């Protein structure tokens, strides 16, 4: 069976510039470009400590004029003081420190800031967190992992040794999935460039005022293009001239798939039926092929998903019908989490099944489906009440917030 390759599409949809990952006629993922006034994830600034709150072991740091972020003192035990002080010195109100946005602001919650600065490339992430070498959990080739560990000890560690004077234990490097099978020379060249950029950034931080931006990651479009893999994606497609030009200029950084400008008079959004796909992605109900359906309810604290048999008319026993519906629901839930960019705590109420073997089969299927998600997603367990707990890493706003916000601003 021939594998259907994805297409990464950049186009306009309901007044927003969107990134769409499509496989055949199905939309797998929709994301909107951040507003211009927003600081993108990964932005590094000089911040000023405005308030230290001891009872929550955290500080609030003004990283842009009039905008504060949450800075956990439990997670950030070393600080990058702009004046060059040792990173283990206690933090005080008025201190200026280098911080990076690790999580965007969501509704009433401030952005989350970290002192564990990182620079993300196509093959790896340079970090200032003392982690040494890390390897994506999606890479399972034990032989390749051993080869990369040797490469780190014999060659790569020396490329980041000059960053040890930052007040942190040592620099680290996390190999992304894209690094698997890439030439070592290319990975090493990228790491060397990242180390040089980080060194300049740390030096510049000493002579910049609070609120200054020291580093901004590549644009939303370039980052999205850099993340796709040639074994999964056929091409990058856009009908927006400015974005096409930006991607062409950035292509020297090593996109793995070709970029094509769509010139047909029939709009891309209509060709891929993106309006209808967005309506489904924002809807409360998702129908399954068997006639069953999901009800998806995002709340402030968590997302709740209910599985129902609905119109399932298979001539099978109730036990078989429940299992079939649940297995189909497991596959669709993995798709919906990614499509809607749901994160945090997700609780799923599957149809109750009495047999232990059937519940074990369901959990295996769900775990397998969630493993394909590029965002870290963990299947926690099934509770005594039969509820399944999932956690998914928070990055960008969920899709329903991205579009509700854009509707208000129009």
- Tell me the pLDDT tens digit for each residue of 291-346: 899 999 998 889 999 999 876 656 567 888 899 999 999 999 999 999 999 989 99
Q: Which of 274, 298, 384, 290 is nearest to 329 (CA)?
A: 290
Query: What's residue 328's pLDDT?
Result: 95
Which pLDDT belongs to residue 407? Answer: 47
Question: 55 vs 103, which has greater pLDDT?
Answer: 55
**CATH node for 6-37+220-274:** 3.30.420
Report pLDDT for 230: 74
- For the chain, give the number of residues: 410
Q: In this structure, what DSSP letter does residue 128 have?
A: S
Give pLDDT tens digits for 60-118. 999 988 889 999 999 998 899 998 888 888 899 999 999 999 887 766 778 899 999 99
Nearest by Cα to 325 from 285, 371, 293, 286: 293
Residue 290 near residue 349 (C-beta atoms within 8 A)? no
The pLDDT of 207-221, averaged and rounded, is: 88
pLDDT at 276 over 60: yes
Q: Given the structure tokens 């399932």, which residue do they identify?
A: 312
DSSP state of 207: G
* CA–CA gap between residue 140 and residue 160 (Å, rounded): 26
Overall fold of domain 284-399: Aminopeptidase (3.40.630)
Q: What is the pLDDT of residues 127-151, one digit of tens each?
A: 987 778 999 888 889 999 999 999 9
Q: Is the pLDDT of residue 274 over 50?
A: yes
- Does residue 162 have a pLDDT over 80? no
1 has a pLDDT exceeding 60: no
Q: What is the mean pLDDT of the chain?
A: 87
| Cα 340 from Cα 303, distance rounded (Å) | 11
54-to-60, 72, 76, 404 alpha-carbon distances in Å: 11, 10, 14, 36
For residues 275-289, give the mean pLDDT: 92
pLDDT for residue 409: 45
Phi, psi for 394 (deg, rounded to 5):
-85, 130
Using the predicted structure, report yes or no on whether residue 57 has a pLDDT greater than 80: yes
Q: Residue 252: its pLDDT value, please?
A: 60
pTM of the model: 0.75
- Domain segments of the chain as ranges: 6-37+220-274, 63-214, 284-399
Which pair of tokens denotes residue 117? Answer: 């600065």
Helix (H) or strand (E) holding 193: helix 184-204
pLDDT score for 168: 57
């Amino acid at each position: 069976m021939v594998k259907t390759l994805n297409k990464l599409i950049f186009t306009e949809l309901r007044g927003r510039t969107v990134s769409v990952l499509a496989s055949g006629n199905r939309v797998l993922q929709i994301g909107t470009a951040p507003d211009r006034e927003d600081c993108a994830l990964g932005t590094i600034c000089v911040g000023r400590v405005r308030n230290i709150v001891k009872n929550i072991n955290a500080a609030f740091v003004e990283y842009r004029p009039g905008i504060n972020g949450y800075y956990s003192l439990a997670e950030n035990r070393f600080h990058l003081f702009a004046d060059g002080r040792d990173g283990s010195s206690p933090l005080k109100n008025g201190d200026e420190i280098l911080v990076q946005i690790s999580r965007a602001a969501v509704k009433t919650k401030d952005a989350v800031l970290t002192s564990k600065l990182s620079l993300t490339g196509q093959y790896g992430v340079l970090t200032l967190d003392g982690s040494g070498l890390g390897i994506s959990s999606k890479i399972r080739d034990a032989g390749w992992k051993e080869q990369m560990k040797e490469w780190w000890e014999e060659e790569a560690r020396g490329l980041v040794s000059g960053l040890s004077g930052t007040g942190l234990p040592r620099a680290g490097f996390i190999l992304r999935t894209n690094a698997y099978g890439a030439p070592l020379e290319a990975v090493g060249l990228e790491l060397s460039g990242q180390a040089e950029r980080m060194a300049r950034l740390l030096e510049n931080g000493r002579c910049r005022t609070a609120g200054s931006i020291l580093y901004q990651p590549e644009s939303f479009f370039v980052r999205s293009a850099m993340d796709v893999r040639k074994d999964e994606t056929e091409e990058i497609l856009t009908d927006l001239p400015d974005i096409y030009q930006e991607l062409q200029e950035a292509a020297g950084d090593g996109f793995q798939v070709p970029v094509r400008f769509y010139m047909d008079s029939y709009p891309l959004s209509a060709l891929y039926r993106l309006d209808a796909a967005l309506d489904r992605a924002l809807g409360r109900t998702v129908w399954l092929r068997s006639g069953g359906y999901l009800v998806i309810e995002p709340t402030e604290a968590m997302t709740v998903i209910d599985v129902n048999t609905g119109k399932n008319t298979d001539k099978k026993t109730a036990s078989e019908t429940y299992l079939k519906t649940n297995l189909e629901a497991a596959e669709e839930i993995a798709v919906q989490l990614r499509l809607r960019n749901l994160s945090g705590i997700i609780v799923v109420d599957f149809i109750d099944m009495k047999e232990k073997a059937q519940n074990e089969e369901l959990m295996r299927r769900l775990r397998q489906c969630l493993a394909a998600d590029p965002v870290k997603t963990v299947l926690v367990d099934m509770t005594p009440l039969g509820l399944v707990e999932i956690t998914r890493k928070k990055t960008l706003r969920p899709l329903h917030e991205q579009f509700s916000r854009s509707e208000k601003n129009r």
